[in-house]
């Protein structure tokens, strides 16, 4: 692994500021982290298809994560998701552990990627786009709520910002509910800024994953959702296309992002793999945000990188380095829709 890859870990991000964010991020650091070990195919936006009426049986036709992401296998190793035994959707958008049907309410939780940020207009936020798709799928009367916040970390789900409590104040929701969220980038940014040792960062990752698991277990509990619930969440992405070139986005330096953090490499891979383990253990679904955005960042034109997708690959990160462009939001909505559809 080269020195650029060693620098990569200090910038993975998936959130925003606690105030309306300026162009440079203030509370999280974008990342050129260890890449995904394989690549997702390019896909054109399309309408989400109807979900299967019954859970799909185990089949040789279901891909492994390794098969989905073989196009970006390379010298810099990334997360090994298959060791946790997930069921992967045929589209490679994410996992397929739930048959999501009969949804009456949708709740968005998490960080600024879900809240949405300027300069992208609200109509182009992934949350706005996905809401329209879900109303088409489940009916115009679908109830929609959001308790996502700029700068949120994993502990803001049940603790801190108490997002779950805000969206479910009585502790019981009788409507069949779908929860969608992005989270984890602000946690990783804090570890990178503090330049934690590998062991300290892994410990922090484990603590965050425990909090994520507890939140998802709450969201899946029949005590809280007597008529059922579904949870779909994303892993975290990065803007350097596996290069670790933290200066590839001009605004990154304005966030205080400096130096390297080689000690964080193992912690990042552990964190990404931990997201998958939580999805498998709780039988909820993970969307491969990290993998879909690899090769859509500020080093996307560098043909030497393993996420390279051609000179015409679009940029999906805006001037803040860490938030999606309208095209990026469109793709997040599309991939979430595919996971929800089970396609």
Q: What is the CATH number of the domain that holds 95?
A: 3.40.50.1110
Question: What total number of domains does the chain contain?
Answer: 1
Beta carbons within 10 angstroms of residue 144's beta carbon:
15
Comparing C-alpha atoms, which of 215, 179, 175 is closest to residue 107?
179
Kindly state whether residue 220 falls inside one of the protein's structural domains.
yes
R_g (Cα) of the chain, nearest Å: 18
Q: What are phi and psi of 283, to 5 degrees?
A: 55, 45
Report residue 272 CA to chain centroid gap.
Answer: 10
Question: CA-to-CA distance for 171 and 58, rounded, in angstroms?
Answer: 35
3-state secondary structure of 230: strand
* Per-position pLDDT tens, the chain of length 343: 333 333 344 333 333 333 334 333 433 333 334 444 433 444 443 334 333 334 444 445 789 999 999 998 888 788 999 999 999 999 999 999 999 999 999 999 999 999 999 999 999 999 999 999 999 999 999 999 999 999 999 999 999 999 999 999 999 999 999 999 999 988 987 887 788 899 999 999 999 999 999 999 999 999 999 999 999 999 999 888 888 787 888 888 787 666 677 788 788 889 999 999 999 999 999 999 999 999 999 999 999 998 999 999 999 999 998 899 999 999 999 999 999 999 9
Kindly state whether residue 263 falls inside one of the protein's structural domains.
yes
Domain region containing 177: 3-40+66-341
Kindly state whether residue 121 falls inside one of the protein's structural domains.
yes
Beta carbons within 10 angstroms of residue 1's beta carbon:
13
Kindly state whether residue 200 falls inside one of the protein's structural domains.
yes
Report residue 75 CA to chain centroid gap.
Answer: 23
Strand order in the sheet with 285-287: 143-146, 105-110, 177-182, 229-234, 285-287
CA distances from 331 to 124, 296, 309 (A): 11, 11, 16
Residues near 243 by Cβ (< 8 Å), separated by ≥ 6? 4, 5, 8, 32, 299, 302, 305
- At residue 295, the pLDDT reads 95
Kindly state whether residue 60 falls inside one of the protein's structural domains.
no
Kindly state whether residue 56 falls inside one of the protein's structural domains.
no
Question: CA-to-CA distance for 339 and 77, rounded, in angstroms?
Answer: 25
Kindly state whether residue 180 falls inside one of the protein's structural domains.
yes
Kindly state whether residue 52 falls inside one of the protein's structural domains.
no
């Amino acid at each position: 692994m080269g020195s650029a890859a060693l620098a990569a870990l200090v910038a993975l991000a998936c959130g925003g500021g606690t105030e309306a964010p300026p162009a440079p991020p203030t509370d999280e650091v974008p990342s050129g982290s260890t890449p995904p070990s394989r690549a997702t195919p390019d896909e054109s936006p399309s309408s989400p298809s109807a979900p299967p009426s019954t859970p799909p049986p185990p089949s040789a036709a279901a891909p492994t994560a390794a098969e989905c992401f073989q196009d970006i296998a390379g010298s810099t190793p990334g997360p090994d998701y298959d060791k946790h035994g997930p069921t992967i959707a045929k589209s490679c958008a994410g996992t397929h552990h739930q048959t999501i049907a009969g949804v009456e309410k949708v709740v968005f939780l998490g960080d600024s990627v879900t809240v949405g940020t300027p300069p992208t207009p609200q109509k182009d936020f992934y949350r706005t786009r996905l809401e329209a798709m879900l109303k088409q799928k489940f009916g115009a009367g679908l109830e929609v709520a959001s308790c996502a916040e700029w700068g949120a970390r994993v502990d803001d789900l049940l603790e801190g910002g108490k997002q779950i409590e805000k969206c479910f104040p009585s502790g019981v929701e009788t409507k069949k509910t779908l929860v969608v969220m992005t989270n984890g980038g602000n946690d990783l940014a804090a570890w990178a800024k503090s330049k934690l040792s590998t062991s300290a960062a892994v410990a922090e990752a484990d603590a965050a994953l425990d909090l994520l698991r507890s939140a998802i277990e709450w969201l899946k509990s029949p005590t809280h959702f007597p008529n059922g619930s579904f949870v779909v969440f994303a892993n975290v992405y990065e803007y350097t296309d596996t290069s670790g070139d933290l200066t590839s986005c001009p605004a990154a330096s304005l966030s205080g992002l400096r130096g390297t953090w080689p000690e964080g490499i193992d912690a990042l891979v552990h964190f990404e793999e931990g997201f998958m383990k939580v999805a498998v253990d709780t039988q909820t679904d993970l969307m491969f945000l990290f993998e879909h955005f690899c090769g859509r960042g500020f080093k996307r034109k560098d043909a030497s990188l393993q996420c390279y997708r051609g000179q015409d690959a679009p940029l999906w990160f805006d001037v803040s380095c860490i938030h999606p462009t309208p095209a990026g939001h469109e793709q997040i909505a599309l991939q979430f829709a595919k996971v929800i559809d089970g396609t």
